[in-house]
Structure 1
Amino acid sequence: MDRLVSLHGTINSSCPTNSNLFREYIGAEFNNVKFSDVPINPNVEFHFILAFAIDYTTSSSPSPTNRQFNIFWDSDNLSPPQVSSIKSKHSNVKIALSLGGDSVGNGYTYFNPSSVDSWVSNAVSSLTHIIKQYNLDGIDIDYEHFNADPDTFAECIRKLITRLKNNGVISFASIAPFDDDQVQNHYLALWKSYGHLIDYVNFQFYAYDEGITVSQFNYFETQSSNYRGGKIFASFSSDGSGRFSPADGFFTACNRPKSEKNLHGIFVWSADDSMPGGFSYEKQSQALLAISH
């Protein structure tokens, strides 16, 4: 099948290894999903990613702050006590927060620093407060729109990740690019200079053009070349949109890299969308990752 080829990656081919890490975004759609609703296989490493923390005001018409991050996920159902509860019940669970996202209010979320130093200083301060309040473990960078050049983006994110790690605030960081020229220009500038700081690449494969068939792309080969040496995750959107869904052969396509020890993990957007269907794809993803070859 063409789909088998599309997931054949060559990342770290000199020392291939599978990972049993499953990651899922949660909380962006305010549909009352809780951590405890999501099935957690004890034989995988599991990361919830809270979506989103955004450097905008929380007013009815959100506007950019001076890089002060605020909580924009469903904090009523995904609160600090609920973080503590799910982590105490499942020793294999860690929780991160994602920065930025696509939109806020009725407009796009823009990465728009006034300067590198001011953005980093305020971002470190406000994010440290949120991360400690919630007892979180990592961050995910998911800015998708930019009012800054790639080098400025790279410097801001480098300094943010470095300071949070050096201060012991986080233990891992990921990025979430997708196949768009502006997005790739910014994330590749970050990766090429500072990829060693980034633990995981949540590449949004589901964001490829719906009008293009899977067989026209060697998705993993292309992105493993772009983000060479990175732990790139297979991904799908559980709302049925986008390319590369379970209905398009996602799990079949995962078998080849899994057998060749090049499957670094799976992530899903999102638990909010999966809840009406009973999280069937989450169960299937984790079962696949838990199998050793």
Structure 2
Amino acid sequence: MIDLWAPSADLGLGTALTTAFVLGIVHGITPDEHTWPITYSYAIGGYSTRRGLIAGLSFSLAFTVQRALASELAYLTLDHWFTASAHLNYYVYLIVGTAMWLGGRYVRGGHHFHLWRPRQTPLATDALRTPRPWMPLIHGFIAGWGVGAFALIIYTVLAPAMPGPALGWLPGALFGLGTTLVQAISGALIGLTAQRIGLPAEAIRRIALITAGRTLSWGGIVFIAGGLFGLLAPHWADLSIATGLHIHNLAHLGLAFILVMIVVMLIGVGSLIQQLLQWRHHRH
């Protein structure tokens, strides 16, 4: 019997690996600060189904490599340094936030960096650049070092359940592949949304890249602020609201959930809507 909420420590090999894969799917579906903001940013910046799919795959496969590596370290009992640190997530927020900010700077031109550029018309010529394929790869590997409920289950229950060191990496890898399945589909759907909004190709490209640039730039700043808040005021940062749901990422809503909502919904979706309205106003 698979228990995704609190799996036992005496699982068989097949049950442990199945649990890891299904947990990865749940991880990809539920609002997670280590996946949603970055996948959205690069998928919308691809402005096509294919590029969105590639962005989701690139991010998640790098995430998978990290989880497989960490799972092997956990089996070898070398994971104490990243499972015992109560503040590791906040350091990861700082690094991820910096990487996002730099990614946003690249998308928006790099040399003359402005977060908003409010005076430009929707189709003005500028230095917007499509994100490079290696960017979500780097983000995925960095973000994977964040430790939450899913990671702790992998490292403390599923990895030790493997019969030998040659298989210690498998729970992390299958968890990552479960997440990859969801993130690839969501990345493709986000890219398809950008492609099918019924505008000329150049307008789609500009709107998508401005949205991606803002999400990465402002999102990076939000993540850096979240990391600093967690390090400077950990007692406040650790506060959360219990929902009563036995689903990790939804059981308690706290700083991580706030980061997801601000970056994806407020900045990401908000920027997309604002750009669409601005373009339509310009057309009329």
| TM-based fold match above 0.5 | no
Greater strand share, structure number: 1
Q: TM-score, normalised by structure 2?
A: 0.23
**Structure number, greater radius of gyration:** 2
Q: Please, what TM-score do these two structures have when normalized by structure 1?
A: 0.23
- The structure showing larger relative contact order (alpha-carbon pairs under 8 Å, at least 6 residues apart) is 2
